[in-house]
Structure 1
């Protein structure tokens, strides 16, 4: 006998063809698991460096946003300033980032990427985009449209 509390929609089924709709909690759980698995898989598509995931993420923020203070990086990564300072120290020691005094305020230190840091970011983004593009190419146009809609929706969820 099927346990109705644990029944979920199979891929490709719709509420109209299924015995019941999944609950909000079930949908949330399934989405969380899918996003975590996708994120984990995408993290595997990166250049061969000794950077941790948090170091790479920090380097990505610096690359995307330009020179940033330790405090701003800590806010973006949702960590403490001392923790971010350790992360930045590792990036600087590895030659992927530099520290410089802010031109407008000598008390502030700005962290920037070096050319080798930018190269790691570019190559990793290229690999991740290529991995996704290969999988997107195998989808139907309707599935790609659904993912485009989901991307917009996920962006709204993130920004709430």
Structure 2
């Protein structure tokens, strides 16, 4: 099987692919700027969101999920543990492992960040015409399909 990045892009799609990539990148950057805590990094927020959405993980599981090394994830978790956004608990079945879990303060921070991002995006979308909103809704469905592979 050929990986998607190895498939040559027909010339007639290159411009669309570039425009879509750049628009997605800009929108993502703008959404990330809406945070519940300005000093939190994107990597730290991603860990909190993972823990909120998927439950407790070991350090290794978090590192694998976020595609980083265990030492890098350990630094990220340390930064989240100090202000009380996560806890570490020894694994009852294997004392060599530590379970990382989100605290109520961490959950509140994730909820607030998502709320801010949704509010910003809803306000921007509200200024669009009904036809533009329909186009965005259709594009969102298509982008989800493309992302699913």
TM-score bracket relative to the smaller structure: 0.7 to 0.9
How far does the alpha carbon of each residue in 1:18-77 deviate from its partner, in whole angstroms, 9 at most, with x for none?
xxxx83111111111111111111111112342111111111111111111222212221
Moved segments of 4+, more than 6 Å: none
**Using CA pairs below 8 Å that are at least 6 residues apart, which structure has the higher relative contact order?**
2
The farther-off stretch of 122-131 and 110-119 is 110-119
One of 46, 58, 61 as aligned partner of 1:57:
46
Q: Which of these two proteins has the greater Rg computed from alpha carbons? A: 1
Corresponding residue for residue 31 of structure 2: 42
2:83 is matched with 94
Cα pair distance change 1:140/1:64, threshold 3 Å: same
Corresponding residue of 1:136: 125
**TM-score, scaled relative to structure 2:** 0.83
User: SS at the partner of 1:107?
Assistant: coil
Query: Counterpart of 1:158?
Result: 147
Closer, same or farther in 2 for the Cα pair 1:72/1:156, shift >3 Å?
farther
TM-score using structure 1 length: 0.78
1:4-153 correspondence runs (5 A): 23-153=12-142
Tell me how far apart the structure 2 counterparts of residues 107 and 158 of structure 1 sit (CA, whole Å).
37
Residue in 1 aligned with 2:7? none
- Which protein is richer in helix relative to its size? 2
Structure 1 unpaired stretches of 5+: 1-21
User: What is the CA–CA distance in structure 2 between the aligned matches of 1:76 and 1:149, rounded to whole Å?
Assistant: 29
Once residues 130 and 104 of structure 1 are traced to their aligned partners in structure 2, the CA distance between those partners, rounded to angstroms, is 43
Task: Kindly state the Cα deviation for residue 103 of structure 1 after the two structures are TM-superposed.
Answer: 4.0
RMSD: 1.8
Aligned length: 139
